[in-house]
Structure 1
Amino acid sequence: MAVITGLATLTAYGSGPEHLWTGLLSGEPALSPVTRFEVTGRRARYAATLPGSPDLTAELAALVDRACTGAGLTGAERAVTPLLLARHLTTAVDPPTASLAADCGLLGLQRIHTGACAAAASAVADAAAQLALGEHPRLVVAAGHLVTEDTFASFDSSGVLAPDGIARPFSTGRRGPLLGDGAGALVLESPAEARRRGATPLARIAGWGQAGDAHHVARPHPAGLGTARAVAAALHRAGLGPDAVGYVNAHGTATPAFDPSEAAGLHRALGPHAARVPVSSTKP
């Protein structure tokens, strides 16, 4: 088990978890017409973007610093804390990224997760697993992606993005997701370390699970086998049954192939409780 003692976020709703939470509760999308680059001739023209042209590495450094400050870490504690980084499909490490940990006073960049939309969650699970094994008393996870012209063009040309600017996961008439800027940083600690420092936990990570369908390079298994295995593994690790789940934050791509697969996986993992538990997606 791990606890989160520091948190910083940046989204199109604004900087800080309070703006993100308020925005999510409002039910109002943070989407707007794309102005960062030219979208004339594109099917989709909306994204959830920050103003101007922010630099991702600089934003991540600021988020890591805020998360560490929020957790009350001293310079000495930062110096023995590794950094896990999550980036959307980016495998190249440029000099600013390579020096991110040192610039933030951390021990070093331990690993980069690049599993697209799952990269950040995968990095958090990695950190929690290391804490459970006692490999470190504390880790920092930083993750982020900014909408670029190349990424937007790639998604748009493949016909994935919703051309009407509305994402409708699990709904009739859904036409796909939309892209958005997002970045965040977490300080994860073992409960014993948090108690030793007198830190106040913001949240607890009780269980996690990861799995793959091994079905198709771009399409999930129709029965949601990977989703079911991941959910079941997380519940097993936490020592919980399906009835303990009070809410599911789904991947929710709003595509014809992924939504039914995810729904099937949840029903497979949660059994009869799946028909009662609230499910939504952050993507809209």
Structure 2
Amino acid sequence: MGHLDHAAFGWLTPVLSYVMACTGAALGLRCTVRALGADGRSRRNWLVTAASAIGTGIWTMHFVAMLGFSVGGTEIRYDVPLTILSLLVAMAVVCAGVFTVGYGRDRTRALLVGGLTTGLGIASMHYLGMAAVRLHGDVSYDPVRVALSVVIAVIAATAALWAALNISSPLAVTVASLVMGGAVSSMHYTAMFAVSVRVVPSGEILPGATAMQFIFPLAVGLGSYLFLTSAFVALSPTDGEREASASAQRPIESATH
């Protein structure tokens, strides 16, 4: 059996991946709160932003954590198309979950359907990402731990969507996103501990790209997207602030005419 190391860089990758997951969650919850206060096209745009933030956060968390994953006796490469597919799956599925909740008539049913969809999506994103791993040897999974990781993903997603519907104060959003980041991270590491690798030493060159060639630049790009969007959302006025500034300008206009 190959020796698996889940934190080859020490605490750096687990902590950084947790921060990414929390940032994505906080931004996503904030956007969902804004979406529920808006309607029409504005609501749709906020929901899409929320989904892309949560999806990006989860995916970046997964692959930043994967940067710290190493197996004794073999190098690791990543299949590029599969890795990108896992990102698209994360976005699409979170989008479906967020829209189910954003437009659901029956709150409870929307939550359960949205949570289940999103949770299964997060899990499939994770295992697609794992399927993209290329190494010298055979990868196998412990079915009990795989099942546990899927259950954690569904619970985490449902809790996050519930938070998005019921929480609007900045402090509560912060707490919810820390919890959600923790849930996503624990799902990731549960799923990683389900993995065992039987290394078959080989001189052949592995297909795919190394983490530093491909995963690292992509994670940096997506991380930048998250932080820039967070700044934009934090600075854009809420509907209440817009109305206040509009009513403040009216007396000035009537005075000048």
Q: Tell me if TM exceeds 0.5.
A: no
Bigger radius of gyration, 1 or 2?
2
Q: TM-score, normalised by structure 2?
A: 0.27
Instruction: Tell me which protein shows more helix as a share of its residues.
Output: 2
Whose relative contact order is higher, 1 or 2, with alpha carbons under 8 Å and at least 6 apart? 2
Instruction: Tell me which protein shows more strand as a share of its residues.
Output: 1
